[in-house]
Structure 1
Amino acid sequence: MNAIILISVLMILMALRVPVVFSLLLSCLFYVTFLKEIPMIILAHRMLGSLQIFPLLSLPLYILAADIMNSGRITEEMFNLSRSLVGHIRGSMGHVNVVASMIFAGMSGSITADTAGLGKIEIPMMTKAGYDKSFAVAVTGASSIIGPIMPPSIQMILYAMIAEQSVGRLFVGGAIPGMVMGLAIMVTIYFYAVRRKYPYDANRAPWAEIWKSFRRSVWALMTPVIILGGIVTGIFTPTEAAVVAVVYAFVISFFVYRTLQLKDMLKMMVGSAVTSALILVIMGAASVFGWIVTMENIPALIRDFIMATTDQQWVVLIILNLVFLVAGCFFDICAIILVFTPMILPVLTAFQIDLVHWGVVEVLNVCIGFLTPPFGVGLYVLSDLSGLSVSQVMKAVTPFLIPLLISLTLITFFPQLVLWLPEIVFG
């Protein structure tokens, strides 16, 4: 009974648009005040204790590295390289949008920040080239979903903390799914571009131009290579890789591209600290809520209920996909990972679902929910960014959910799309 009341209080608070962190803390406070005689000081100890984890140091560092990389010419060079590679394909600027997101997105720690940050560049770029604004908005929203899947990913780090899995395996495991998603979105773009006769570069870029664009952007392209290469070879841990990413981003921005000034660093450091604080306070609140949930034996109850309903792994995967897709429409992505993951771990274990495989599937689910009508937060972000109404954004985005859901289905039911590369790399 206490478990039902606890979950009900949380749902009511969230329905009332109370911020996620306060919804979690107020529901916990209600529990210890009215349902159990537990000293409130324990909540503070639990909240602070959950944040004393060494890998969490990587959160502000990856965010700072992304801010530095976004500071100037690096983003421009990424777009120039993407255009030289895919500019000759029908719907070229849409493909450039996707390729740039695959290369560059996902490091800010927030899909909202990725959508807004790259969208400020991508949407005007596409409309100026002759594309409908609604189409540019849809492509930008769909391509932003790739960011948290491609390494490095803050969402993967949070899942790894909760599920006690290797951050390196999750990073590497997201590479192929990210490419599958990118290819699926590009096929959809091509279909619409042919149908609507969108422009494209008539001639394929000569190799000399491609080489010139590659040479200019190679320093930026080396960032994920250095991060993943160092983790895979064991030169440094994922946490140490975040430090390397910051130093490397600073060196190429300040000394190579010369677009960064020292006075900008303070603003970026403050910004990354604020963003990190938002994530960490949600993580601390979610940890307290998770402790109460475990104490009430809710994960075991969920496991027993599902096992009594079915004994088929594929049915369980469908149920969990639906739960996380719906949750992604309403709640903060980080909060979903932190609150829901501990509840379903016994279910995953009971049905022998690989935790690395599910980690990638879970992150993809909540990210698609971010863009799903009618309540997906991403719809409102894109509306504010573009000046289009929410209904216009919904109409434009909906067709792009098809390739995303197809990708999700493939990744869910063909685990080797996630697991093959980590098995090759780590054994």
Structure 2
Amino acid sequence: MEFLEIIVLVVSFIFLLIIGVPIAFSIGISALLTMLVSIAPVPAFTTLAQRLATGLDSFALLAIPFFILAGQLMNRGGIATRLIDFAKSLVGTLPGGLAYVNIVANMLFGAISGSAVAAASAIGGIMNPRMVKEGYSRPFSAAVNITSATTGMIIPPSNILIVYSLASGGVSIAALFVAGYVPGILLGMSLVGVAGFMAYKNKYPVGDRIPLSIVFKKLIDALPSLFLLFIVIGGIIAGVFTATEASAIAVLYTVVLSMVVYREVKVKDLPDILITTVITTAIVMLLIGTSMGMSWVMSFENIPQAVSEALLSISDNKIVILIIINLILLFVGIFMDMTPAVLIFTPIFLPVVTALGVHPVHFGILMVFNLCIGLCTPPVGSVLFVGCGVANISISKVIKPLVPLFVAMLVALLLVTYIPSLSLWLPEVFGL
């Protein structure tokens, strides 16, 4: 009977995705169908409703709407322009310098906003016209923007790391945030290396030399935006406030920065910003609720234990198991959004890797890193679609310049996978 229920779960979910049902509803419907097979109809509906409600009943999840609101304020408040100008003053004079500017600006903006989609939209909207105007190919510009926007999902503050903390049963959010810095910077530098080679090969232009005084001025202009990182992460590490409290402080700071300091967000803009935040939050929370329902179904059917036994029967070698899990997560990332993927697969894979001695914080960074690559791939890659839309180019034209950048991401993923200290060094330094 359990085998039948697993078949119903998997087949119904895949079928619903194929016919174009939104992923949140696909998850919820497939979970409900599986419950109807295993238990009576009335308890099935009741149980799913309970799981939807209890899945969202977490204090840590309050941080998500606050960080989303902070990201919306940053997107409208002129922060992207100042970060781009600062990045250009640092690396814009190098061969292919605008590609480096795109990557560094995405790393900074993604780190502040915690959203890959927001970074791809804000930075891409400014950088793509500049790069094309100065002689860069439009596909290359879009590809650089798309891949580098994902760094914000690893460099804190990151909403998806909060979701992983929930799915893992309480891994420290502070430890996850701090652990993301080195892997996120490694990903960015890997993209810089490949983009630099591609720029040199295609003889893209060198930027004008910028006086040190201008560099200092751009730093001063960007400093209020960058200071948010010190407030949020510094406060969490020092124990001044929790990650949830830090998200509310981030909103307060960005309101002051956008409306008082930069004066680019007006009072009349707030209703639109709040509505967008509510819509985005509702989508994320629906994904979380239905994913928690599916996670309960999988636990009820002992699927995590079955998968654990199957993986360990293949090999008890940590290297082999991590390769298999990486391949599965890369495949999952192609078809599934990050939030449900983390909520569904964390309970399945975390017991396996912890049994092999992998630290839960390391695995969290590893899991998010894998799924970041999926954001850049069709058919569900949200960053890919946003990046192509902003650049006004078809997906088919971006694929060729994306391939070498994908290779850079995969190399960085392997380094993060097999060198745990890249993720665990900073948390150990701060005693998290």
Identify whether the pair has TM-score above 0.5, normalized to the shorter chain: yes
Matched letter for residue 23 of structure 2: V
**What is the aligned partner in structure 1 of residue 139 from structure 2?**
134
Matched letter for residue 213 of structure 1: K
Give matches, 1:328-367, under 5 Å: 328-367=333-372
Match of 1:304 among 309, 313, 337: 309
Counterpart Cα distance in 2 of 1:263 and 1:191: 46
Aligned residues between the structures: 426
Match of 2:288 among 283, 286, 301: 283
Counterpart Cα distance in 2 of 1:273 and 1:373: 27
Distance apart, 1:210 and its partner CA: 1.2
Give matches, 1:19-418, under 5 Å: 19-37=22-40, 38-105=43-110, 110-163=115-168, 164-203=170-209, 205-372=210-377, 376-418=381-423
Distance apart, 1:306 and its partner CA: 0.8
Counterpart Cα distance in 1 of 2:215 and 2:310: 57
Q: What TM-score results when the alignment is normalised by the length of structure 1?
A: 0.96
Question: Aligned-pair RMSD on alpha carbons?
Answer: 1.6
- Relative distance call for 1:73 and 1:381 in structure 2 (3 A) is closer
- Worse-matched range after superposition: 306-315 or 29-38: 29-38
User: Is the contact between residue 65 and residue 245 of structure 1 (CA under 8 Å) also seen in structure 2?
Assistant: yes
Matched letter for residue 391 of structure 1: S
State the secondary structure of the residue aligned to 2:88: helix
- Worse-matched range after superposition: 148-157 or 333-342: 333-342
Matched letter for residue 206 of structure 2: Y
Counterpart Cα distance in 1 of 2:258 and 2:59: 28
State the secondary structure of the residue aligned to 2:151: coil
State the secondary structure of the residue aligned to 1:95: helix
- Relative distance call for 1:109 and 1:151 in structure 2 (3 A) is closer
Question: CA offsets per residue over residues 173-229 of structure 1, 9 Å max, x none?
Answer: 0101111111111111211221222112242x2221111111111101101111000
Counterpart Cα distance in 2 of 1:75 and 1:383: 19
Matched letter for residue 60 of structure 1: P
Distance apart, 1:33 and its partner CA: 2.4
User: Is the contact between residue 374 and residue 394 of structure 1 (CA under 8 Å) also seen in structure 2?
Assistant: no
- Relative distance call for 1:304 and 1:209 in structure 2 (3 A) is same
Distance apart, 1:385 and its partner CA: 2.9
Match of 2:19 among 3, 10, 16: 16
Matched letter for residue 353 of structure 2: L
Distance apart, 1:386 and its partner CA: 2.5
Q: What TM-score results when the alignment is normalised by the length of structure 2?
A: 0.95
Counterpart Cα distance in 2 of 1:147 and 1:130: 27
Counterpart Cα distance in 2 of 1:15 and 1:340: 20
State the secondary structure of the residue aligned to 2:152: coil
- Worse-matched range after superposition: 122-131 or 86-95: 122-131
Counterpart Cα distance in 2 of 1:228 and 1:129: 37
Counterpart Cα distance in 1 of 2:9 and 2:200: 53
User: Is the contact between residue 235 and residue 241 of structure 2 (CA under 8 Å) also seen in structure 1?
Assistant: yes
- Relative distance call for 1:376 and 1:275 in structure 2 (3 A) is closer
Distance apart, 1:120 and its partner CA: 1.6
- Worse-matched range after superposition: 364-373 or 415-424: 364-373
Distance apart, 1:232 and its partner CA: 0.4
State the secondary structure of the residue aligned to 1:145: helix
- Relative distance call for 1:375 and 1:226 in structure 2 (3 A) is closer
- Relative distance call for 1:358 and 1:132 in structure 2 (3 A) is same
Distance apart, 1:390 and its partner CA: 2.0
Counterpart Cα distance in 2 of 1:283 and 1:229: 28
User: Is the contact between residue 59 and residue 109 of structure 1 (CA under 8 Å) also seen in structure 2?
Assistant: no
Q: Return 5+ residue gaps in structure 2 as ranges.
A: none
- Worse-matched range after superposition: 90-99 or 255-264: 255-264
Distance apart, 1:73 and its partner CA: 2.4
